[in-house]
């Protein structure tokens, strides 16, 4: 075999060195996550925590899990509403422009899924847990977002008021932090016995929404609980820690986080830090 000329060897060594340096810089650059075919990809993979959309439920809570395009639903066939809906919201998804669907549909694969008609003339909105404006990045995601498994009976004054304000905030936070994890759902108390529609959709007394920014140098989390009615006052009046929310729900959120991160972010919250620009 002929030996390579010295010039070729030098060029080869330089090329390999450049590739190595590039990889090292990429691994430490903290570039934003992205999504390819509905799969979150961290570019570069500085840190990534798979499974954050899965919540550990209490005891014998009925649950049927289904992954839709862009979000995951844990459905409760007895309440005919989700236990929770979870999704990752990325900064680049905020500016996409898939047209709003407005076509509510019943999923035959979900046991106990309500129909559009179960909410008609009930006095309650078909309240999205995962909002349509978070799913503008994909036509399929937008269509899926209107599945009735993603809906809860929500007082219009809340849906169009404080809940809508919180939805607008979450998109601002995703733009700022590049990626946030969101979990939302109804809060039921034993006294919540009111039901609507032929199927008997249970009306919750409150709603929760939990946020996690896992890819920051110092990850942070916060939760909000709103009564299912007009919610006057400031957002911070409804804020709490993830630990407090978990105590209220009996659920374990963000269990996929390493314990050393989970224990800190779930015990503490700062509305001021979340609300800064």
> Three-class SS string for the chain?
CCCCCHHHHHHHHHHHHHHHHHHHHHHCCCCCEEEECCEEEECCCCCCCCCCCCCECCCCCCCEEEEECCEEEEEECCCCEEEEEEEEEEHHHCCCCCCCCCCCECCCCCCCCCCHHHCCCCCCEEEECCCHHHHCCCHHHHHHHCEHHHEEEECHHHHCCHHHHHHHHHHHHHHHHCEEEEEEEEECCCCCCCEECCCCEECCCEEEEEEEECCCCCCEEEEEEEECCCCCCCHHHHEECHHHHHHHHCCECCCCCCHHHHHHHHHCCCHHHHHCC
* pLDDT for residue 12: 42
* pLDDT for residue 99: 87
Bridge-partner residues for 35, per DSSP?
Answer: 40
Provide the token pair at 197: 């529609």
Give the position of tokens 């992954």. 67
Give pTM, 2 decimals: 0.84
Indicate left, alpha or beta for 30 from its phi (over 0: left) and psi (-120 to 50: alpha): left
For residues 24-60, one letter each, b for 16 or more C-beta atoms within 10 angstroms of the residue's C-beta and e for the rest, the string is eeeeeeeeebbbeeeebebeeeeeebeebbbbebeee
* pLDDT for residue 78: 98
The Cβ-side half-sphere exposure at 173, using a 13 Å CA radius, reads 28
* pLDDT for residue 270: 96
Provide the token pair at 270: 């700062």
Per-residue pLDDT of the chain (277 residues), as tens digits, is 444 444 444 444 434 444 433 443 343 334 456 554 444 454 434 578 899 999 999 889 999 999 999 999 999 999 999 999 999 999 988 877 888 988 999 999 999 999 999 999 999 999 999 999 999 999 999 999 999 999 999 999 999 999 999 999 999 999 999 999 999 999 999 999 999 999 999 999 999 999 999 999 999 999 999 999 999 989 999 999 999 999 999 999 999 999 999 999 999 999 999 998 7
């Amino acid at each position: 075999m002929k030996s390579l000329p010295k010039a070729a060897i030098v060029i080869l060594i330089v090329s390999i060195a450049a590739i190595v340096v590039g990889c090292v810089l990429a691994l430490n650059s903290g570039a934003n996550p992205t999504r390819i075919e509905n799969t979150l990809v961290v570019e570069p993979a500085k840190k990534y925590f798979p499974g954050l959309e899965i919540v550990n439920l209490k005891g014998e809570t009925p649950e049927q899990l289904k992954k839709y395009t862009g979000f995951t639903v844990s459905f409760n066939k007895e309440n005919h509403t989700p236990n929770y809906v979870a999704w990752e919201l990325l900064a680049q998804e905020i500016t996409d422009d898939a047209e709003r669907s407005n076509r509510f549909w019943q999923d035959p694969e979900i046991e106990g899924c309500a129909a559009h008609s179960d909410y008609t003339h009930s006095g309650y909105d078909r309240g999205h847990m995962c909002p349509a404006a978070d799913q503008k990045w994909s036509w399929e995601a937008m269509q899926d977002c209107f599945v009735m498994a993603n809906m809860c009976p929500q007082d219009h004054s809340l849906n169009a008021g404080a809940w809508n304000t919180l939805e607008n905030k979450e998109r601002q936070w995703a733009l700022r932090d590049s990626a946030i994890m969101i979990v939302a759902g109804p809060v039921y108390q034993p006294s919540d016995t009111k039901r609507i529609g032929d199927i008997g959709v249970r009306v919750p007394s409150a709603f929760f929404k939990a946020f996690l920014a896992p890819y920051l140098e110092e990850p942070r989390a916060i939760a909000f609980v709103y009564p299912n009615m007009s919610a006057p006052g400031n957002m911070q009046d409804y804020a709490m820690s993830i630990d407090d929310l978990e105590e209220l729900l009996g659920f374990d959120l963000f269990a996929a986080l390493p314990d050393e991160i989970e224990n800190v972010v779930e015990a503490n919250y700062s509305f001021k830090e979340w609300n800064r620009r």
